[in-house]
Amino acid sequence: MFFLYNLVVQIAGFLLQIAALFSSKLKLFVDGRKSVFDTLSSKISASDKTIWFHAASLGEYEQGLPVMEQIKEKFPNHKILVTFFSPSGYEVRKNNNIAHATVYLPLDTQKNVKEFLKLARPEMAFFIKYEFWPNYLNELKNQNIKTYLISGIFREKQSFFKWYGGFYRKALKNINYFFVQNESSKKLLQSIGFQNIKVSGDTRFDRVVSILDRDNSLDFIEEFKNDSTTIVIGSSWPKDESLLTNYINQSDSSVKFIIAPHNIKAEQIANLKSQIAKKTVLFSEKDSQNLAEYQVFIIDTIGILTKIYSYADIAYVGGGFGNPGVHNILEPATFGIPIVIGPNYSHFAEATALVNIEGCISITNQSELNQAFDLLVQNEDERYEKGHVCSTFVQMNKGATNTILKHILP
């Protein structure tokens, strides 16, 4: 089976190089891996001690950040190495201030794995949430490098729990300890013979709680908001926006809207703006404008949505009309803001929980969106109550980072 797996990885690597000629994202994926070993050679010396964290993409990086920060504090003489699988994570966080080296993870070939570990020299390895690469896990075990899964989550449909999943079950045996988000994940692992498991919860709660201690002020958002009731729309997609712009266009002039789309390509921003009948300004043109005069503010940049949520009276989080579903709702929740989302949220435990306890409203069509927004705009008590449910939920679920560290530290 290993022979077949390695053959498939080799073929996939070859096909990716061809596909990269026609896709800018795949070009980043392929070209970014060409310099990995040179980067490691220049940033990690033979005398260095390192701790390695692997994140599939941006969400997993943010999820693992509380553990990275604590590990860095506990091991000040070690270098932190962060790897990403996807360009959407690496390109956004390649210049982070937590890691001494941030690189793409080379494809999971036996040759790549041995070269990577020879240069990285990790004393511990942390995989965040998922991504189980058999060659990496095998070699980590062969070299007696402690390997942990943090904020792991497992579902019954995964191959580990099927009759044909023996190859991947074997790969899991190379992990020293599983820190999982919930009891169902623990029971699934126990059903295939694992006992080295602790339900630690989700480190994302620790991540978003820490946001409250930071400076979240943005002068230009304060100028735009101007004490008006403000709905912040985060990570929206066209399917979200088709409903949202209809609501915006018929909304009361006393309500303001901030839209931070998931995709900020110029043509999509222009298309979004063209659908809005209200006076609208872009982030890229804000410096020459009196922002208080506008009713809609489109954020055509990245990296500031979290701070913008701190100014929201109501939040809409996009992605809920697509797959795999809604984006991160914990960031607005930590600020005590009621949240509206689309219908596709069942794969996200925090969204399911907040819908069930009525801090979050799920809508499926224009009429339901209008009703949800009207309720929250017009009824301040309802807005406060749902926001309080959200913030309390976040506070009650923090602590995963401490649980993990207490177990792994001597």
Per-residue b/e over 198-221, b at no fewer than 16 CB within 10 Å?
ebbbbbbbbbbbebeeeebeeeeb
Residue among 204, 214, 208 nearest 401 (CA): 204
pLDDT for 87 equals 93
At a CB cut-off of 8 Å and minimum separation 6, what does 360 contact?
329, 333, 338, 339, 340, 341, 351, 354, 386, 390
pLDDT for 142 equals 97
Q: Is 331 a catalytic residue?
A: no
Rounded CA-CA distance 81/68 in Å is: 10
* Fold observed for domain 1-201: Rossmann fold (3.40.50)
Using DSSP's 3-state secondary structure scheme, residue 215 falls into: coil
Q: Which contacts qualify for 4-7: CB closer than 8 Å, 24 or more apart?
A: 5/134, 5/167, 6/109, 6/110, 6/135
Residue among 385, 386, 382, 362 nearest 374 (CA): 382
SS3 per-residue string spanning 22-35: CCHHHHHHHHCCCC
Question: Tokens 């009207």 map to which residue?
Answer: 374
Question: Tokens 């890229």 map to which residue?
Answer: 284
pLDDT for 19 equals 92
For residue 88, give the amino acid letter.
Answer: S
pLDDT for 157 equals 92
Side-chain half-sphere of 4: how many Cα atoms within 13 Å?
2
Using DSSP's 3-state secondary structure scheme, residue 230 falls into: strand
Using DSSP's 3-state secondary structure scheme, residue 228 falls into: coil
* Fold observed for domain 211-396: Rossmann fold (3.40.50)
Decide: 153 and 182 in contact? Cβ < 8 Å: yes
- Which residues of 118-237 form beta strands (DSSP E)? 122-128, 146-152, 177-180, 197-199, 229-236
Question: Hey, where are the domains in the chain?
Answer: 1-201, 211-396
Q: Phi and psi at residue 96, in whole multiples of 5°?
A: -65, 165
**Tens place of pLDDT for every residue, the chain, 410 residues?**
878 999 999 999 999 999 999 998 899 999 999 999 999 999 999 999 999 999 999 989 999 999 999 999 999 999 999 999 999 899 989 999 999 999 999 999 999 999 999 999 999 999 999 889 999 999 999 999 999 999 999 999 999 999 999 999 999 999 999 999 999 999 999 999 999 999 999 999 999 999 999 999 999 999 999 999 999 999 999 999 999 999 999 999 999 999 999 999 999 999 999 999 999 999 999 998 999 999 999 999 988 999 999 999 999 999 999 988 999 999 999 999 999 999 999 988 899 999 999 999 999 999 999 999 999 999 999 999 999 999 999 999 999 999 999 999 87
Decide: 145 and 116 in contact? Cβ < 8 Å: no
Read off the pTM: 0.88
Angle ∠(335,339,340) on CA atoms, nearest 5: 160
Q: Which residues pair with 282 in a beta bridge?
A: 298
pLDDT for 25 equals 87
Rounded CA-CA distance 120/140 in Å is: 12
The Cβ of residue 182 has, within 10 Å, a number of other Cβ atoms equal to: 16
Instruction: Answer whether 1-201 and 211-396 agree in fold.
Output: yes
Per annotation, catalytic residue among 60, 62, 131, 241: 60
Rounded CA-CA distance 387/338 in Å is: 4
For residue 127, give the amino acid letter.
Answer: F
Side-chain half-sphere of 255: how many Cα atoms within 13 Å?
18
Rounded CA-CA distance 390/339 in Å is: 8
Residue among 218, 231, 223 nearest 291 (CA): 223
Kind of pairing, strands 197-199 and 177-180?
parallel
Residue among 337, 340, 336, 312 nearest 326 (CA): 340
